[in-house]
Amino acid sequence: MANSITVTEARDDFAELVNRVAYANERVRVVRRGRELAAIVPMADIELLEALEDEMDLAAAREALADPDNAVPITWEELRARLQR
């Protein structure tokens, strides 16, 4: 479970907060008026999230390429006309 900290606390203790996240692998949610706005997380978490997003994008691209309706070639002029709509 991630710790929560207010925006004001995060601003006042930013250097310490970054150290806690970087060296203790802590996840911190930043809250304003009881509402979670953002999170400060270790780089390993971001790298994992980006790798997962890349895998999802790749799966979607493979699915689109496997769809026979997407296999119909079009001319450059037709593509340009579609993009200008």
Helix (H, G, I), strand (E, B) or coil at 39: strand
pLDDT digits (tens, 9 = 90+) for 33-63: 999 999 999 999 999 999 999 999 999 989 8
pLDDT bracket for residue 1 (50, 70, 90): low
Q: Distances from the Cα of 42 to the Cαs of 17, 21, 63, 80, in angstroms?
A: 11, 6, 32, 43
Task: Answer yes or no: pTM beyond 0.85.
Answer: no
pLDDT of residue 27: 96
- Which CATH entry fits the domain spanning 3-41: 3.90.470.10, 3.40.1620.10, 3.10.520.10, 3.40.190.10? 3.40.1620.10
> Do residues 2 and 20 lie in contact, with contact meaning Cβ atoms separated by under 8 Å?
no
